[in-house]
Amino acid sequence: VLQSSNSLKASYEDWLLTYGLSVSPFHMRWQTALFNRQFYNWGRWKPRFLYLWFSVGMVFGIVAMFGSVILLGKTLMQTLTQMLTEAPKAQNDRMLQVVVSVLFSGRYLRVPGVNLPVSQLTYFFSAILISGVIHEVGHGVAAIREQVRFNGFGIFIFIVYPGAFVDLFTTHLQLISPVQQLRIFCAGVWHNFVLGAASFIVLFLLPAILFPFYYTGVGALVTEVAEDSPANGPRGLFVGDLVTNLQDCPVYSVEDWNSCLGDISEKSQVGYCISAATLQQLSFPARVYRRLDGTVECCSNNSLTDICFSYSNNLDSHLYACLPARKVIEASKVCRTNTDCQKDFVPSLCVTPSLENQTRLIRVKHPPHIDMLYVGHPMHLQYTVSLSSFVPRQNFLSIDLPVVIETFCKYLISLSGALAVINAVPCFALDGQWILNSFLEATLSSLIVEKQNRELVGFLILLAGSALLAANVALGLWMVTAR
């Protein structure tokens, strides 16, 4: 609108030029020379160290170029196999997988508003921006180290995704040797790899780093309970509760919580030991009927405290009793068969909740509070309750800080690692294009004398790499939308 106005067009374009802004459909960028002095200081700091640093980065970039092709090819074959052998279905939404899967596997592709939670958007976009800035800092410092003129640094937003760029003097870049060019072109993916590795180290050492303020290994601390969570309620879980057990499965960390819920979901429902006298005292006559899935119900649908239990004795192997759940479970030990309950010559039986398929009765211990009894699918409990392995040593310390650091490190590992892999792909408009061209010039100049023939070889490789990348993107998006 402003550019179409005769009176405003000139002043609008002058304003954009003054502030280094560029605006076009779905794209906005800002470039400045404010940081040039800082970049030149970095590029001239310890020349020998920087030479070794970017030489190692050059080797890494070349290896990453070949490795990314293998990884993308493997991912494409896995996606095609999955499409041909199974129908789209819900998958466990884990954050960290093989880095390339974060961008291109249908199971793990992160699309804001589709399969990326709104609460995670800040981590997502911050990690992308930081990864992009570190990537371009690598290019800029390497270019100054190789005596290439540095014109400026900038950031951009493409649709909703942020990024960064550096402006180098193209003529200087073309005059230096292919090996020098490789150091510059590989510096971006090298810095992304280093950022991901540093984030992994911080994540691994986080318990030691936070040890003066937080301790671990005592349970899983509840940091948030969703409003629609089945764990809500007067006898449910609250922020600040420390979960120590799920059934007979001890919980020392969030990983234990997830592992225990996974085991409970995969295995059959456990039972609880109860003496024959108590069973006779608590049970009352009830009508028994079968549900559509074949399981048996013997309690009224209106009951919020009673559950139908099945048990067996020497005479009949299929008996049912409607019992008050909390009285049966409290102070009872977990069992699988009647033999697990034989002790002190007291006749005892193993009673098992008769629930619908995939539904479980889970006893959640969070002392000093009374145990929570949860009836439902274990994964619903996992998705609606957020926990942390870090327990504050003082009440004034935030219970969310370790979670924020941990989550942000995971995003940096995933996205920075993914950028390192994807930018190394020999594909048009990516770093891999320039890495490949410089690599061919450095290695094939004696074998293929004609420059035109070397460029043809490079073009064919770039064409194949671009097709491989496009196929992964297309199938990844299809897998996400299909789910």
The DSSP secondary-structure symbol of 385 reads: E
Comparing CA positions, the residue from 164, 167, 168 lying closest to residue 155 is: 164
Choice among 86, 136, 146, 406 that is catalytic: 136
Structural contact between residues 62 and 190, judged by C-beta atoms closer than 8 angstroms: no
Q: Quick one: how far is CA 24 from the chain centroid? A: 32
- Distance, in Å, from the CA atom of 340 to the CA atom of 325, rounded to the nearest integer, reads 20
Q: Quick one: how far is CA 150 from the chain centroid? A: 36
Q: Which amino acid is at 203?
A: L
- Distance, in Å, from the CA atom of 165 to the CA atom of 133, rounded to the nearest integer, reads 8
B/e letters for 32-50, b = 16+ CB within 10 Å, e = fewer, are: eeebbeebeeebeeeeeeb
Cis peptide before 368 (omega within 30 of 0): yes
- Distance, in Å, from the CA atom of 194 to the CA atom of 109, rounded to the nearest integer, reads 23
- Distance, in Å, from the CA atom of 145 to the CA atom of 48, rounded to the nearest integer, reads 10
In Å, what is the CA distance from 49 to each residue of 42, 44, 53, 236, 269? 12, 10, 6, 58, 61
In Å, what is the CA distance from 156 to each residue of 29, 185, 254? 4, 20, 37
Three-state SS sequence of 317-364: CCEEEEEEHHHHHCCCCEECCHHHHCECCECEEEEEECCCCCCEEEEE
> Is 221 in a helix, a strand, or coil?
strand
Question: Is 224 marked active-site?
Answer: no
Query: Looking at the annotation, which residues are catalytic?
Result: 136
